[in-house]
Amino acid sequence: MSAPRIRHFLADDDLTPAEQAQVLALAAELKHAPYDAKPLAGPRTVAMIFDKQTLRTQSSFAAGIAELGGFPMLVDGALAGIGVRESVHDVARVLGRQASMIVWRTYAQGNLEEMAEHSGVPVVNALTDDFHPCQLLADLLTIQEHKQQLAGLTVAFVGDGACNMGNSWLLAGATAGMHIRVSSPDGYAPEAAMVERAAAIAATTGGSAVLEADPVAAVTGADVVVTDTWISMGKEDEAAARAEVFAPYSLTVSLFERAKPDAIAMHCLPAYRGKEIDAEVLDGPQSVVWDEAENRRHAQKAIISFLAEEVR
């Protein structure tokens, strides 16, 4: 008897375009009937490890795992001493014997990949310094709900492009066949290799992935305008310098008015009104940020269900 095939979700392009569409369709079904599917009935345990501060990630995974019939086991990364008291591969082997899946919100993408290599069970990226793929599944689900399509839409990401959200928008958007424009100050654009990786995907889906230094040009005519905090976790000592550099990239009312009249505004939260986004945009009628926050649960239930099915 051969060993079960283990699928992980470590970065946005771990899903093919067809698989991404499948997961998003499942997410919509689970949102419509949240208690009907029980792939974790038993209950099967999912280990949730958090090395970084969290609100939406922890609450949405815990609620979603419970709704799928499973048990969310909270593991404090600092208390476990991952990488200090216990090596990553030892943690992977231990948790792989206790849980049916591992969800990890941490810093280095390499550590997540090491966890996946040694765990023996699926590993889900709940945020690293490089990618935030579960947030992107929630964002794509939200856009589908409001625009009834993904392929062919233009998305402008304005702000810190050299962060996990910038990278994930490039890969997930390209996978969905969208046209992604990332607008960032000098020194804060995504790495060229990431743009090339997204462009290669877009070449197969009909989308595109480009950098546009001018935020006005990036937002003009866009269907979706996205921003994120300028001060990602671990960058707090750069707050003053970043506030000055990023000021021209703030999603103000006047900048948002450059997008299409029916454009939607997105932010993965937490948000800092008056800095990366005006309160009038975040709390305005074209903001969908609270739908994004709710859809974390539905999208994550879908990727968990997909991965659970893959190992059977």
34 is in an annotated binding site: no
Of 179, 181, 242, 268, catalytic: 268
Helices and strands (H and E) in the chain: how many: 13, 9
To the query of whether residue 223 is one of the catalytic residues in this protein, the response is no
To the query of whether residue 44 is one of the catalytic residues in this protein, the response is no
135 is in an annotated binding site: yes
Of 135, 144, 163, 179, catalytic: 135
Instruction: Give CA 63 to chain center in angstroms.
Output: 18
**Positive/negative CA dihedral, 264, 266, 271, 272:** negative
Beta-carbon contacts of 170 under 8 Å, excluding residues fewer than 6 positions away, are 180, 182, 190, 194, 195, 197, 198, 209
Of 132, 197, 242, 298, catalytic: 132
269 is in an annotated binding site: yes
111 is in an annotated binding site: no
Burial 41-65 (b: 16+ CB within 10 A, else e): eeebbbbbbbbbebebbbebbbbbb
Task: Outline where DSSP puts E strands in 118-193.
Answer: 123-125, 154-158, 179-183
To the query of whether residue 7 is one of the catalytic residues in this protein, the response is no
Question: What are the tokens at 298?
Answer: 């539905």
Question: What are the tokens at 260?
Answer: 């299409």
Residue 50 carries which DSSP code?
Answer: E
- 244, 133, 140, 229: which is closest to 185 by C-alpha? 244
Q: For tokens 């208390």, what's the residue?
A: 79
Residue 45: helix, strand or coil by DSSP? strand
43 is in an annotated binding site: no
To the query of whether residue 186 is one of the catalytic residues in this protein, the response is no
Phi, psi (rounded to 5 degrees) for 229: -55, 150
To the query of whether residue 297 is one of the catalytic residues in this protein, the response is no
To the query of whether residue 163 is one of the catalytic residues in this protein, the response is no
Of 8, 197, 296, 297, catalytic: 296
Residue 87 CA: distances (Å) to CA of 126, 172, 261: 20, 31, 52
181 is in an annotated binding site: no
Of 13, 228, 242, 300, catalytic: 228
167 is in an annotated binding site: no
164 is in an annotated binding site: yes
Burial class of residue 130 (count of CB atoms within 10 Å of its CB; 0-12, 13-18, 19+): buried
Q: Around Cβ 14, how many Cβ atoms within 10 Å?
A: 19
232 is in an annotated binding site: yes
268 is in an annotated binding site: yes
- Known binding positions for carbamoyl phosphate: 105, 132-135, 268-269, 296
- Known binding positions for L-ornithine: 164, 228, 232-233
Provide the annotated active-site residues.
Answer: 105, 132, 135, 228, 268, 296
- Known binding positions: 105, 132-135, 164, 228, 232-233, 268-269, 296
